[in-house]
Structure 1
Amino acid sequence: MSFLTTVLAEGELARELPIPAWAYGAIALAVFFVLAIVVWNYRDVSNRHKVKADAYAAAHGADHGHGGH
């Protein structure tokens, strides 16, 4: 038997999935939904501590009119 016939013979064996095919999509959707909630909870975090950030910037001579480096 050649390698090719061995590979083809192995491919003929049907293996069943441990869960239904639609469940993989549902699990992925649930994971993305949970990750979206985590990201949503961290929105606008920099503005929550604006007083501290401004005090730090003033103490270290940062330019307030410039948004980036």
Structure 2
Amino acid sequence: DVFCPTGAVWWAKSEVLRKERNFHTDDKRGWEMPWYRAVDIDSEEDWRMAEALLKMAARKGVEG
């Protein structure tokens, strides 16, 4: 299996974030997401890709 950070969700305790000044600490955890839910949208083209994937998933009855 290959896993890649999506940047979809980041969380931290405020005191840890203030101390470390970033989210990258030794105590990391992941949340597995299917590839079609992990589209990084930074441009209009990315948005169109996400829309196309959503429509394709809806036609196939994919949930989640």
* TM-score, normalised relative to structure 1: 0.27
Higher relative contact order (CA 8 A, sep 6+): 2
Q: Which has the larger radius of gyration?
A: 1
TM-score after normalising by structure 2: 0.29
